[in-house]
Amino acid sequence: MSGSRLFAISDIHGHVEGLRLLLKQAGYRPGQDALVLLGDYIDADPATYAALRDIRELVAEGAVALAGNMECALLERCSRDDGGEELVSKAMLQFAKALPLYHRQGGYVFVHAGLRPGVPLERQLPRDLIGIREEFWMTPYAGEEPVVFGHTPTRRIGAAPGELWLGAGMIGIDTGAKHGLRLTLVELHGRMAYSCGTGHGNRYSDYRCVTW
């Protein structure tokens, strides 16, 4: 599609106001631009569960949303019948249950956490797709399509706090929104990063737009 862009964001952890701000600042155009959301829309706090409604709205407009470990944990909690269903609607649970674990588009592989080295994409285990850490990003990547991932805050991999992590064939985009650092929306074709703070002193402010 002429003029279309490819956006990705991960590990929102309830910061949907920040998500909406970044999409607006980036001039995201549903139906023309592509948007891939990499999971962990919610956090352990049930107050964040409402974020699933925002994600479902974006999917209805054409975005692709993947499952993260937090969505899988919510489904597990509800399957144990320990009160989780009282905190989130059946419609939202059905939406979360239907989320795919990976996506390929525009020459990239999108996944919440990463890939098990040496295992074909189609044979990756769900526990790795939503939970792998060092075994993925510390191993030289041999695939042809770069992997865009979240789950591990980039500062744990070696990036400066709140910044993207760029490896050989890997792009880490969890810039620590959960930990009061930054929420980052990346545009892959133009190599742009749109971010805002999520700390108590700069929540959804300190907006930045940089190339990477």
List the strands of the sheet with 6-9, edge to edge. Answer: 64-65, 34-37, 6-9, 182-187, 192-197, 208-211
**Taking the CB of residue 205, how many other CB atoms lie within 10 A of it?**
12
Stretch 167-187: mean pLDDT? 98
- pLDDT value for 153: 98
pLDDT range class, residue 78, cuts 50, 70, 90 = confident
| Higher-confidence position of 89 and 208 | 208
- pLDDT value for 2: 52
Q: Can you tell me whether residue 111 is helix, strand or coil? A: strand
Q: Which residue has the tokens 């744990």?
A: 156
List CB contacts of 145: < 8 A, sequence separation 6 or more.
Answer: 104, 107, 108, 109
* Beta-ladder partners of 184: 195
pLDDT of 83 > 60? The answer is no
Question: Nearest to residue 173, comparing CAs of 12, 3, 56, 22?
Answer: 12
Stretch 171-177: mean pLDDT? 98
- pLDDT value for 53: 96
**Taking the CB of residue 81, how many other CB atoms lie within 10 A of it?**
8
Q: What percent of the chain has pLDDT over 70?
A: 96
Stretch 26-30: mean pLDDT? 98
Name which CATH class applies to 6-211: alpha beta
**Chain segment 38-50, per-residue pLDDT in tens:** 999 999 999 999 9
- pLDDT value for 3: 75
State the average pLDDT for the chain: 95
- pLDDT value for 82: 58
Domain ranges of the chain: 6-211
How many residues are recorded in the chain? 212
Element (H, E) at 103: strand 102-105
Q: What is the dihedral of CA 166, 189, 121, 71, to 10 degrees?
A: 80
Stretch 179-200: mean pLDDT? 97
